Each structure stands twice: as structure tokens, then as C-alpha cells.
A and B are shown apart, each in its own frame.
Chain A
Amino acid sequence: DGGITQSPKYLFRKEGQNVTLSCEQNLNHDAMYWYRQDPGQGLRLIYYSQIVNDFQKGDIAEGYSVSREKKESFPLTVTSAQKNPTAFYLCASTFWGGGNQPQHFGDGTRLSIL
């Protein structure tokens, strides 16, 4: 079945450590997105990518980095520069331009500080 796979489901980060969240999709979608959700809040866009080897900053990109070396994959690195990384991270994908297609979401990764 087609879908978006995020891993791990839970992740703990130590002080000064970089951690990488995985996002893989087999929907043949062009665009992929990373969102951050804090408790009781809506979604905030971190980064998005329209095509391979290209990505754009969202509203809260500071302290995060991404790569898009393959169409199927869009990993997110939470760097030590992100001082408040505890949140629920959601990866999404869709066909570029959206149109009548919604963004499809993975099951999320919950990141906490040790």
C-alpha cells in the first residue's frame, strides 16, 4: 500500500546532539514537507521541497536542516542549534501545486530532550 513512513516513532536527544528524523514516501509525490506541532497548537512549516535537490525554508527553519537526494526521501535533522526541539514532527507529501489533492501525512515522530 502507498503511504508515508516516518521513523523513529519516538526519539530522545541529548544536549548538543544532532538527530535525524526519517521520512519516506512511495506515493510518487513531488512535494514533501516537514511540520512541527507543539501541544495544543496547529502545524508550523519547517522546510519543504518541490523537487529533488531543491528545498525551501518555512516559517521556523532555524535550527533544522534537510536534504532531498531522492524523490522518495526527505530527512530532517534537528541540530544542536534548536534549543527547544521537544515537539511532534510530521512529514507530509503531495503532488506539486496541490490542486484537488490534499497533503498526506506520516504517523509522526515525537522528539524529547533527555
Chain B
Amino acid sequence: ELKVEQNPLFLSMQEGKNYTIYCNYSTTSDRLYWYRQDPGKSLESLFVLLSNGAVKQEGRLMASLDTKARLSTLHITAAVHDLSATYFCAVATSMDSNYQLIWGAGTKLIIKP
């Protein structure tokens, strides 16, 4: 059974600091997704990581994937208040031709001015 663990689950940080959110998963997968959710809102896709060593960047966010270590990271550079949200990683599983995403519990990020 594929399990996805995120840590930390809660992070409070000051503006201007750097930090990393980790996403570990338990079995082989070649696709990993990062999403953002604002309070009371739906989910917004941030990154799609499809291969070992994949790195994608958008503004102050950078995501990477190490399929051998079964680890993805979401790095925040020089955080700003607008990045406060809950961030989810999701890993694709395609057993028996059925495609599903298995979701981490989310990391609630609060960035203080």
C-alpha cells in the first residue's frame, strides 16, 4: 500500500527566511504533484514532477524529485506573507491500470510579516 508522509505538518516562519517541506512515499512511483490550498478554498496545482532529478521553479518555490530516495522537496526562498497556505504533495499510483493519487496530510505554512 502506497503511503505518503509530509513533514512538517505545521510550519510558522518569518518573512525573508528559507525553508523546506519534505514529502516521502513508500513505494515506487514516477509522478508526483504539489498543490496549494488557501483556507476554505479549492486546490491549485503548483508543480508536476515526472522523473528522477526533476526540478521545477516558480517564483520563490522550487520543487524537486528523487525517485530513488522516494523523496520530494518543496523549497521556499525568502518567504513572503502571500505564500501562507497549506501545501499538499500527491503521488500517483497505477496499480491494475487504475490511476489514483495518494495524498499527504498537508503542511500548513504560516509566514509572519
Q: CB within 8 Å of B: which residues of A?
A: 31, 40-45, 48, 50, 56, 58, 90, 92, 96-108
- A42 and B88 contacting across the interface, CB-CB below 8 Å: yes
Residues of A within 8 A of B101 (CB): 43, 45, 98, 103
Once bound together, how far apart are the Cα atoms of A31 and B42, in whole Å? 18
A107 nearest in chain B by CB position: B42
Once bound together, how far apart are the Cα atoms of A21 and B27, in whole Å? 34
Q: How large is the interface on B (under 10, 10 to 19, 20 to 34, 35 or more residues)?
A: 20 to 34
| Main SS class of interface, A | loop
> Taking the complex as formed, is B68 at the interface, i.e. its CB lies under 8 A from any CB of chain A?
no
- How many Å from the CB of A110 to the closest CB on chain B? 8
Q: CB within 8 Å of A: which residues of B?
A: 31, 33, 35, 41-45, 48, 50, 88, 90, 92, 94, 98-101, 103-106, 108
- B105 and A42 contacting across the interface, CB-CB below 8 Å: yes
A48-B100, A56-B98, A58-B100 as given contacts; A98 in contact with B31, CB under 8 Å:
yes
- B99 and A102 contacting across the interface, CB-CB below 8 Å: no
| Main SS class of interface, B | strand
- A107 and B106 contacting across the interface, CB-CB below 8 Å: no
Once bound together, how far apart are the Cα atoms of A103 and B45, in whole Å? 8
A42-B105, A105-B43, A107-B41 as given contacts; A100 in contact with B48, CB under 8 Å:
yes
- B106 and A42 contacting across the interface, CB-CB below 8 Å: yes
User: Other than the known A45-B101, A108-B41, what 12 A-B pairs have Cβ atoms closer than 8 Å?
Assistant: A41-B106, A42-B105, A43-B103, A48-B98, A56-B98, A97-B99, A99-B50, A102-B35, A103-B90, A104-B45, A105-B44, A107-B41
Per a CB cutoff under 8 Å, which of A40, A44, A99, A106 touches B42?
A: A106
Interface centre among A58, A98, A106 (most CB of B within 10 A): A98
- A102 and B45 contacting across the interface, CB-CB below 8 Å: yes
18 contacts between A and B (CB under 8 A): A42-B106, A43-B43, A43-B103, A45-B100, A45-B101, A56-B98, A58-B100, A96-B99, A97-B94, A97-B99, A98-B92, A98-B94, A98-B99, A99-B31, A103-B33, A103-B90, A105-B43, A108-B42
Per a CB cutoff under 8 Å, which of B33, B42, B98, B105 touches A102?
A: B33
A97 nearest in chain B by CB position: B99
